[in-house]
């Protein structure tokens, strides 16, 4: 919960600047990007996601490192992915 999970922006939602679709480790879901309004996000950018909200913009390198860290946490990533999948709209 306290460790962010990296996702890559795949598309914005027309008529809603708060939402975007991201891909996390092969799973797609909608997240809220409202807290990064000042970051001028673009498709292809990486973000760190906490409980369905993008909290920081990161680069591809940091995304790879963060994902590898989560993999090593074992159940940490499994739990996050399970929740992501279970609730993916």
Partner 1 sequence: MRFVDEYRDPVASRRVLATIAELAGTERHYKFMEVCGGHTHTIYRHGIEHVLPRNVELVHGPGCPVCVIPMGRIDDAIAVAETPGVIFTSFGDMMRVPGGNGTLLEAKARGADVRFVYSPLDALKVAADNPDRQVVFFAVGFETTAPSTAVTLVKARDDRVMNFSVFSNHVTIVPPIKAILDSPDLRLDGFLGPGHVSTVVGNHPYRFVARDYGKPLVTAGFEPLDILQAIAMLLAQIREGRCEIENQYTRIVRDEGNPRALQFLAEVFELRPHFEWRGLGFIAQSALKLRAEFAPWDAELRFAVPGVRVADPKACQCGEVLKGVIKPWECKVFGTACTPETPIGTCMVSSEGACAAYYNFGRLHREAAVTLGRASV
- CA of 43: how far to CAs of 12, 21, 70, 83, in Å? 7, 9, 24, 24
The answer to the question of residue 1 lying near partner 1 (CB under 8 A) is yes
Q: Which is nearer to partner 1, 11 or 39 (CB)?
A: 39
Map the footprint of partner 1 across residues 18-77, applying CB under 8 A: 31-32, 34-38, 48, 50-53, 55-56, 58-62, 64-66, 68-69, 72-76
Q: How far is the CB of 28 from partner 1 (least distance, A)?
A: 14
The whole-angstrom distance between residue 17's C-alpha and the CA centroid of its chain comes to 16
Q: Which is nearer to partner 1, 18 or 43 (CB)?
A: 18
The answer to the question of residue 9 lying near partner 1 (CB under 8 A) is no
- CA of 61: how far to CAs of 45, 49, 51, 65, 72, in Å? 12, 16, 22, 6, 17
């Amino acid at each position: 919960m306290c460790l962010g999970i990296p996702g890559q922006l795949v598309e914005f939602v027309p008529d809603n600047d708060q939402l975007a679709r991201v891909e996390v480790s092969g799973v797609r879901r909608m997240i809220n990007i409202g807290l990064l309004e000042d970051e001028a996000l673009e498709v292809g950018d990486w973000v760190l996601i906490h409980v369905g909200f993008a909290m920081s913009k990161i680069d591809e390198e940091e995304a790879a490192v963060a994902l590898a860290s989560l993999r090593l946490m074992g159940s940490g990533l499994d739990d996050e992915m399970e929740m992501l999948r279970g609730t993916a709209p």
